[in-house]
Amino acid sequence: MANKLRDLVAHGNLASVMSAHNPLSARLAELAGFDGVWASGFELSAAYGVPDASLLSFTQHLDMTRAIVERISAPVIADLDTGYGNAVNVLHVVGAYSRAGSPR
């Protein structure tokens, strides 16, 4: 899926991506014809009614991103928030999100 967006941009085209906070909003973006969905940290924070200030956990972000990926066929760009710590944490987070977006 990542190649779909990469190919659009590489050929000088614009990719239209809509932010989503859950599978329903992601599905609506897909049905509206967007090229991809941005699993947005801001959107998820708003859905929980908290400021976008890294208050939600890594697991909360990952679980919702995984739910979005499993319910749409469009590419998903994951907002990895702040990386949740130092370089070791960032490596862990990127790996977990990559596995969440892998075909099953």
Q: Is the pLDDT of residue 24 over 70?
A: yes
Name the phi and psi angles at 78, rounded to 5: -90, 130
Q: What angle do CA 15, 28, 79 make, to 5 degrees?
A: 55
Rg (CA), the chain: 14
- For the chain, the domain total comes to 1
Residue 82: domain span: 2-100
pLDDT (0 to 100) of residue 28: 97
Residues with catalytic roles = 52
Separation CA 11–CA 48 (nearest Å): 38
Confidence of residue 104 (pLDDT cuts 50, 70, 90): very low
Please write the tens of the pLDDT for every residue from 42-89: 999 999 999 988 888 889 999 999 999 999 999 999 887 677 888 888
pTM of this prediction?
A: 0.84
Q: Which runs of E-coded beta strand occur in the chain? A: 17-20, 36-39, 76-78
- Please state whether beta strands 76-78 and 17-20 pair in parallel, antiparallel, or not at all (unpaired): unpaired
Q: What is the pLDDT of residue 36?
A: 94
CATH number for the domain spanning 32: value is 3.20.20.60
Greater confidence, 63 or 104?
63
Cα end-to-end span (Å), the chain: 13
